[in-house]
Each structure stands twice: as structure tokens, then as C-alpha cells.
């Protein structure tokens, strides 16, 4: 199916909805060229510094963290409902141990503007270049969040990705 | 016009589109109970820590900055196109000098879950409680952004607001 260029604003509804259900697929690649997929249920989308921005959070313990810091680029891929099982695998196994593209029968297709691949089988794609990053800061964090998510102080790094390309399947509306 | 409860995911498309055009209205209130409106064109929406989150950025030099830090709550209000002039005023004048609700003929209506009012004349409303904040960090910022937006190092504080209520005008679709 052909992918057609979109404004980053065109598919925010489906993208945020996917974050709250199956999750979306965050792809990064290391200096060695090996891509990795991580399912994320957290992220925000909008505008900062006059640029379209996709914000994602990754813990230092994740394989993705090392890759993101090597190449400073990522793609976000919004799956169709039939990829639920792949989302579960990509959210529970580590790219240190397995090739998640191979294990889930997913296809890494070349990005247009970044060297990170997209997940071909997904419906919506955002290619992003990191323009800022920062850490979740314990001092200004609600105590309930601190207790629930950071008992070992493994604070997320917040990556601000400028969306440099956005596109989607031509028949997205029929399939999503 | 009646306001009807919504899922935070229901109106993200219109909300992000408004960020890229007229802007949206950020309302805060001080300990003295006086609310203030600031037009923002930057912000992101999504999910973090399993919660619906609206992220806004405010510079320390702004009147809104002081108010936000006093009460840790804000509302985001998405205007109709006919509020363009009010958006311009609320984006260029300071609440230190004028009452922007009065000047723009806008009505502060009580929030449901926060003590910050909404802007009654807007179409979509998010009530938010700050659960985390952090500063834009110069060390991890793209040089182009640093030069364009921070020549005086007046770095934004990034406020992560948990969306505790979301609602919209019943006839939103006809008017937006």
C-alpha cells in the first residue's frame, strides 16, 4: 500500500488514541545500523519552538536509550489493531536479546529524512530528529508518580523529536 | 451553550490545529484569586505516567509563570475563529498591566475540578493540575533553537499538567 505525505496535524487523533490502547512503535537504530522497536504508551504531540514535536520518554535501562543517544533520531509508527500481538512482544522483550523485526514479522523500511527505519506494516509514521532532551526531575514530581514509577530512581529521559516527515497509508481510514 | 464532558482524546485534532493557527488560551490564577490569560502557540498533548497530559511552556519573565507556581493549576481553552483578536491581545499584553478578561470581553467561568477558571467563550476546555515541571536545559538543546529563542537565556519552564477534566460546547463541530 502506498504511503502518502501528511501534515503532522492530520493524524494526531488516531495517534493519541493508539497511545491509550495498543501503544505505538518507537524505532531507533544504533551506530552499527541495527534497528530496534520498543512499544510505548507514553508520548505527547504538538508544537514547540515553532516546530512540530513528538515527545517520547525512555528509561536509561532500555536498549532504546543507548541507540537514541547514538544517533539522535527515531520514528514513531502507529499500528493497526491486528498488530496487537507484535506490540505486546515489542513492549516486553529487549532488543539486546532478540531482533524484534524478525520475531514479529515486521519490515524495516527506509525512512525518507532520517536513517532510522519505519515499521512498514503500521499505518501512520512520524520521522523525528531529537532537538532537545532532558530528564524527569525528582524534585518537581508529584509524590504519587514518584512512588509508582520511580522507586529505583530510574528516571526517564524526555526526548523532544522534531517531526521532519509524516505520512500514512493511503487507505488508512478504512483500516484503522 | 451547554458544555458536555469529553474524553481528552476526543478533541486533540482541533486542539493541535489551533496551536498552529490562532493559538490557545492558557489561564492561570494567583493566590489573590485574580485570573490571567496568556495565548500560547506551543504545547503538546498525550499520555505520560498513565495519565492524560497537557504540556505547556512558560518563560520566567511572564506574569503567568508567577501565577502557575503559586497554584499549580491551569486551564487550556481552544478558541473559535472569531476570537482571533482576543488571542492577539492576550498574546501581546501582560496581565501585570491589564485585566485581559475585561479588555477582551471574555468571561471567566468556574472550573469543575480546579480553582482556575475557563474562558467561557472558547469551544474546548482542559482543566489541568501540574504533576511535574522542569526547565529547558541549554546543554541538550539544538544550537539553532538556542540562538533563535534563548539569546538572553530566559529558558522556559515545561509544565506537565494532568488533564483532570475535559469538556466542549455541545455544538462545537458546527462552530469550529
pLDDT of B61-70, one tens digit each? 999 999 999 9
- The pTM is what? 0.97
Confidence bin at A118 (pLDDT 50/70/90) = very high
Please give, rounded to a whole number of angstroms, the shortest distance from the CA of A19 to a CA of chain B.
7
Q: Which residues of B touch A (CB under 8 A)?
A: 9, 12-13, 16-17, 19-20, 41-50, 53, 55, 57, 131-137, 140-142, 145, 148-149, 158
- Is B34's pLDDT higher than 70? yes
The residue among B12, B78, B141 with the most chain A CBs within 10 A of its CB, best to mutate, is: B12
Write down the pLDDT at residue B126.
Answer: 98
Write down the pLDDT at residue A12.
Answer: 97
Q: Which residues of A touch B (CB under 8 A)?
A: 9, 12-13, 16-17, 19-20, 41-50, 53, 55, 57, 131-137, 140-142, 145, 148-149, 158
Residues of A with Cβ-Cβ distance to B136 under 8 angstroms: 132, 134
Confidence bin at A123 (pLDDT 50/70/90) = very high
Contact at CB, B135 and A133, closer than 8 angstroms: no
Write down the pLDDT at residue A1.
Answer: 67
Helical H segments across chain A, by residue range: 12-19, 63-71, 84-92, 100-103, 143-149, 172-175
* DSSP state, residue B130: E
Give me the mean pLDDT over the A70-83 stretch. 96
Write down the pLDDT at residue B131.
Answer: 98
Contact B56, B38 (CB under 8 A): no
Write down the pLDDT at residue B176.
Answer: 83
Give me the mean pLDDT over the B22-26 stretch. 96
What is the C-alpha to C-alpha distance for residues B37 and A67, in angstroms, rounded to an integer? 41
Write down the pLDDT at residue A139.
Answer: 86
Q: Which domains does chain A have, with CATH numbers?
A: 3-175 (2.30.110.10)
Give me the mean pLDDT over the A123-136 stretch. 97
ipTM at complex level: 0.96
Residues of B with Cβ-Cβ distance to A41 under 8 angstroms: 47, 50
- Is B134's pLDDT higher than 90? yes
Give me the mean pLDDT over the B28-37 stretch. 95
Residues of A with Cβ-Cβ distance to B55 under 8 angstroms: 44, 46, 55
pLDDT in tens, B117-128: 999 999 999 999
Residue of A nearest to B133 (CA): A140
- Is A90's pLDDT higher than 70? yes
Write down the pLDDT at residue A176.
Answer: 83
Give me the mean pLDDT over the B1-28 stretch. 95
Nearest to B46 among A16, A50, A135 (CB): A16
Average pLDDT, rounded, for chain B = 95
Contact at CB, A140 and B132, closer than 8 angstroms: yes
Write down the pLDDT at residue A75.
Answer: 98
Residues in CB range of A158: below 8 A, 6 or more apart = A55, A56, A57, A133, A134, A135, A136, B134
Give me the mean pLDDT over the A44-62 stretch. 97
pLDDT in tens, A161-173: 999 999 999 999 8
What is the C-alpha to C-alpha distance for residues A138 and B118, in angstroms, rounded to an integer? 30
- Between these two residues, B89 and B47, which has the higher pLDDT value? B47
Contact B42, A46 (CB under 8 A): yes
What is the C-alpha to C-alpha distance for residues A117 and A35, in angstroms, rounded to an integer? 7
Residue of A nearest to B55 (CA): A44
Nearest to A47 among B19, B135, B158 (CB): B19
- Is B108's pLDDT higher than 70? yes
Contact at CB, A46 and B16, closer than 8 angstroms: yes
Name the grid cell of A120: 512498514
- Is B167's pLDDT higher than 70? yes
Contact at CB, A44 and B55, closer than 8 angstroms: yes
- Is B16's pLDDT higher than 80? yes
Give me the mean pLDDT over the A112-130 stretch. 98
Amino acid at each position: 500500500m502506498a504511503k502518502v505525505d501528511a501534515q503532522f496535524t492530520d493524524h494526531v487523533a488516531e495517534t493519541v488514541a493508539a497511545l491509550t490502547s495498543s501503544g505505538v512503535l518507537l524505532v531507533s537504530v544504533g551506530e552499527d545500523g541495527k534497528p530496534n522497536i520498543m512499544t510505548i504508551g507514553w508520548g505527547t504531540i504538538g508544537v514547540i519552538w515553532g516546530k512540530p514535536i513528538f515527545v517520547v520518554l525512555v528509561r536509561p535501562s532500555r536498549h532504546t536509550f543507548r541507540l537514541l543517544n547514538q544517533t539522535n533520531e527515531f520514528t514513531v509508527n502507529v499500528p493497526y489493531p491486528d498488530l496487537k500481538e507484535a506490540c505486546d512482544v515489542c513492549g516486553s522483550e529487549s532488543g539486546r536479546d532478540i531482533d524484534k523485526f524478525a520475531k514479529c514479522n515486521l519490515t524495516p523500511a527506509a525512512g525518507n529524512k532520517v536513517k532510522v527505519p519505519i515499521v512498514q506494516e503500521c499505518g501512520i509514521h512520524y520521522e523525528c530528529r531529537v532537538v532537545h532532551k532532558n530528564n524527569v526531575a525528582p524534585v518537581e514530581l508529584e509524590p504519587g508518580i514518584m512512588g509508582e514509577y520511580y522507586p529505583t530512581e530510574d528516571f526517564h529521559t524526555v526526548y523532544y523529536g522534531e517531526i521532519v516527515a509524516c505520512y500514512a497509508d493511503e487507505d488508512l481510514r478504512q483500516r484503522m
